[in-house]
Structure 1
Amino acid sequence: MGKAVGSKKEIVIVGGSYAGVLAAKTIFKKVDEKNIHVTLISPNAYIYFNVAAPRLVIRPSETERTLFSIKDILNGYSNSSTSFIQGEVISTKLEEKKLIVKTGQKNKWIDIKYQYLIIASGTNLGNDVIQNKFEGKELVSLIHRFNKEIHKAKSIIILGGGPTGVEIAGELGYEFGQCKNISLLTGKELPLTIMGEKKARIADSKLKNLNVKVTNAVKYKEIQKLSNGESQVLLEDGGVIKADLVINTTICNPNTRFLDEGFLDSKGYLKTDACFTLEDYPEVIGLGDVLSIGGRSLIDLYHYQLPIFEKYIEKNYMGKSWVRLSPYESPRQTMIIPISKSGGVGTLFGWGVPNIMVRFLKGRDYLIGQAKRLFY
């Protein structure tokens, strides 16, 4: 199955989050729509600007401003050269340049043919509030319900000392640190160890100043729901912590079940060359968090991966055979981590960012005001 497009190059994108949608935007920015047809496949009909999730759990009224119809976005790029399929890719037959897709229409299975394939299927974060597994109004309702759970809870445990865990802990501490028992279990020596010891210690201090109890160097083993509505967290050292609400930010698994294991690394991420193309399949390219290489951040995707993809577009979709593909090189660290709206910690191309800049760049509104402009 597939749309009849005549002599147009048929390009299929798997994934409807940042990498997939921005791939489509980049293609139509570079290529005349008369020469291509792009089909995007995603289990969700909406893209969710989940960068703002730590703020939304406190300010759920902003959620609708972070949801955008994928179909509307694609139609904005081109009415005649785009198709959207809401469904799940079950398997790939790369030799035949074909995907097997299960759609939501009574679990109907269809075949999708392509000339070029973009794998931008991202990762599964295991948390319904942090990641969109729902449709539009349902996600809005979910976040409002979660906000009510936060208000009701007297004790909250956040698992995971990475960027998301620290941001959520900071938001909760700023809003409720004086009236609730809020704990962060980092699982490492300090929160935000990815940013180096100096920034990690600053983050640790800022969280504690917001009345967040930070527990380092202890990992959780299991989360159990109790009959009284509480949850208890079993620790690897044998300890037990109880709370009214547990927020787990430690899960991150690549969405690659539809690919043969030979194309994946030991953790299930997509193996490619330095130009993001699949070995022996130059018509297949990966983008975004699904890659085994890359920074797994929106900044990395936008500023470092997409320029490489643009060269790929010129060479393959536009027929400029003389164009040389640019290899990916890990950039110097750029991370902006608000720890409440008052500021946080950050690095920009490896250089430290002062607290006021963290507040200005992201802490004020978590970029909600810029979300629509990113996709349209």
Structure 2
Amino acid sequence: MEKAGDMGIGRGGRRVVVIGGGVAGSLIAKSLQFTADLTLIDQKEYFEIPWASLRGMVEPSFAERSVINHKDYLTNGRLVVSKGINITNSDVLTAEGRLVAYDYLVIATGHDDPLPKIRNERLTEYQAENEKIKAARSILVVGGGPTGVELAAEIAVDFPEKKVVLVHDGPRLLEFIGPKASDKTLGWLKNKNVEVKLQQSVELVRSSDGSNAYITSSRETIKADCHFLCTGKPVGSAWLKETILKDGMDSFGRLKVDENLRIKGHKNIFAIGDITDIKEIKQGYLAQKHALIAAKNIKILMDGQKESKMAVYKPRSIKVIVSLGRHDAVAQFPFTTLIGLVPGLIKSKDLFVGKTRKAMDLNPHIVHY
């Protein structure tokens, strides 16, 4: 068994291990790489800006900026491309048998999302999805949360000649925000000729006669050349059930954290991003806030300062912006709900990709590899 993490500046309790290289894990790794002996453990060699992924399906070249190799920003840390399979009080065990020692541990495994290991393979997937859309005359989108709505909108704007049907099993679209935003979004999609079927599920098995038809729960037939499944993904915590953190999870598999983002019952183990039980909408920009607060708190502990100096995370869901194609968006702010070009100006053109790249100290514009 190979033991890692015993090199570098990590002699005085400064070994930090981050498990999960999504939007939260990559940011905390980047933030701590020059003050800690840092190891990032991720199943893939890159991270992806999650709120930009649907644009990559209609415009594959967009993904060139939103799919970023960890090594592009992790210039002073160690990258272990593997899956974490066990945690003890001092080490993380990875799938290929590497033992990585830690003084501070950060769990940032978000949601389970089986993605290819290498960036180029992910870019090839975007190309294939784009070709699938271009070859289809009719497209079925299953799921009326932000992913399904944004994908249906992207296709409707870029390929207005295609027939798009969105099926959602809930009573309204975007159930995680207010009904006003849902109603405005439904009207916008209908205006773009997207057919929306609510309170229905759909069998993702083509009809027995071999035609391009799918049957809904109310026995309707939907003809579509292809489909995209945009329903929720499970929390990425199943692997923790046999570890020292097994008692730190709620019934949904989320890790219970205190106000400093430490897992309850553990002084040196933090959790950030979608895997936490914080009562707020799970959004990427909030996961980034978790990362910055946890990074600050780990620095305080490494410097031997009092725990009372640690930063407190206050849950909030101040704003929600769901992009609707390249120009429009629906936005819910504390006192108003807007749809159209104004919220679209905030998010939809670049989907915050330039801003996110800049935060990772990367060129905000296109970079050729």
Interval containing the TM-score (normalised by the shorter chain):
0.7 to 0.9
* Aligned with residue 23 of structure 1, among 3, 19, 28: 28
* 1:39 partner amino acid: T
- Report the counterpart of residue 99 of structure 1 in structure 2: 92
* Aligned with residue 284 of structure 2, among 286, 290, 298: 298
1:301-320 aligned at under 5 Å gives the runs 301-303=287-289, 305-320=290-305
Find the aligned partners of 1:354 and 1:180 in 2 and give their Cα distance: 23
Q: How far has the Cα of 1:171 moved from its partner?
A: 1.0
1:253 aligned counterpart, secondary structure: coil
1:281 aligned counterpart, secondary structure: coil
* 1:205 partner amino acid: G
Find the aligned partners of 2:247 and 2:216 in 1 and give their Cα distance: 35
1:21-60 aligned at under 5 Å gives the runs 21-28=26-33, 33=35, 36-60=36-60
1:193 aligned counterpart, secondary structure: coil
Closer/same/farther in 2, CA of residues 254 and 350 from structure 1, 3 Å limit: farther
Give per-residue Cα distances to partners, 1:278-297, cap 9 Å, x unaligned. 22211100001111224321
- Report the counterpart of residue 196 of structure 2 in structure 1: 214
Find the aligned partners of 1:268 and 1:109 in 2 and give their Cα distance: 25
- Report the counterpart of residue 352 of structure 2 in structure 1: 367
Closer/same/farther in 2, CA of residues 360 and 314 from structure 1, 3 Å limit: same
Contact 1:14 1:119 in 2 (8 A): yes
Closer/same/farther in 2, CA of residues 314 and 368 from structure 1, 3 Å limit: closer
Contact 1:218 1:236 in 2 (8 A): yes
Find the aligned partners of 1:302 and 1:353 in 2 and give their Cα distance: 25
Find the aligned partners of 1:139 and 1:332 in 2 and give their Cα distance: 31
Q: How far has the Cα of 1:89 moved from its partner?
A: 0.6
Closer/same/farther in 2, CA of residues 296 and 56 from structure 1, 3 Å limit: same
- Report the counterpart of residue 84 of structure 2 in structure 1: 89
Contact 2:170 2:198 in 1 (8 A): yes
1:251-330 aligned at under 5 Å gives the runs 251-260=232-241, 261-293=246-278, 294-303=280-289, 305-321=290-306, 323-330=308-315
Task: Report percent identity of matched pairs.
Answer: 24
Contact 2:13 2:103 in 1 (8 A): no
Find the aligned partners of 1:329 and 1:21 in 2 and give their Cα distance: 22
Q: How far has the Cα of 1:333 moved from its partner?
A: 3.4
Find the aligned partners of 2:55 and 2:129 in 1 and give their Cα distance: 12
* 1:332 partner amino acid: S
Higher fraction of strand: 1
Contact 1:224 1:231 in 2 (8 A): no
* 1:296 partner amino acid: K
Contact 1:124 1:251 in 2 (8 A): no
- Report the counterpart of residue 367 of structure 2 in structure 1: none
- Report the counterpart of residue 130 of structure 2 in structure 1: 147
Q: How far has the Cα of 1:349 moved from its partner?
A: 4.7
Q: How far has the Cα of 1:148 moved from its partner?
A: 0.8
Contact 2:15 2:38 in 1 (8 A): yes
Give per-residue Cα distances to partners, 1:33-69, cap 9 Å, x unaligned. 3xx2010000100111232122111111222122221
Contact 1:230 1:244 in 2 (8 A): no
* Aligned with residue 241 of structure 1, among 213, 216, 222: 222
Contact 2:58 2:130 in 1 (8 A): yes
Is residue 124 of structure 1 aligned with residue 112 of structure 2?
A: yes
- Report the counterpart of residue 129 of structure 1 in structure 2: none
* 1:67 partner amino acid: V
Contact 2:249 2:255 in 1 (8 A): yes
Q: How far has the Cα of 1:226 moved from its partner?
A: 6.3
Q: How far has the Cα of 1:348 moved from its partner?
A: 3.5
More displaced, 113-122 or 347-356?
347-356
- Report the counterpart of residue 68 of structure 1 in structure 2: 68
Q: How far has the Cα of 1:369 moved from its partner?
A: 3.0
Give the structure-1-normalised TM-score: 0.86
Contact 1:125 1:252 in 2 (8 A): yes
More displaced, 269-278 or 116-125?
269-278
Give per-residue Cα distances to partners, 1:4-31, cap 9 Å, x unaligned. 2333511100011111111123325xxx
- Report the counterpart of residue 224 of structure 1 in structure 2: 205
Contact 1:206 1:344 in 2 (8 A): no
Contact 1:334 1:349 in 2 (8 A): yes
Structure 2: any 5+ residue segments left out of the alignment? 362-369
* Aligned with residue 160 of structure 1, among 127, 139, 143: 143
Give the root-mean-square deviation of aligned CA atoms.
Answer: 2.3
Find the aligned partners of 1:166 and 1:228 in 2 and give their Cα distance: 30
Q: How far has the Cα of 1:121 moved from its partner?
A: 0.8
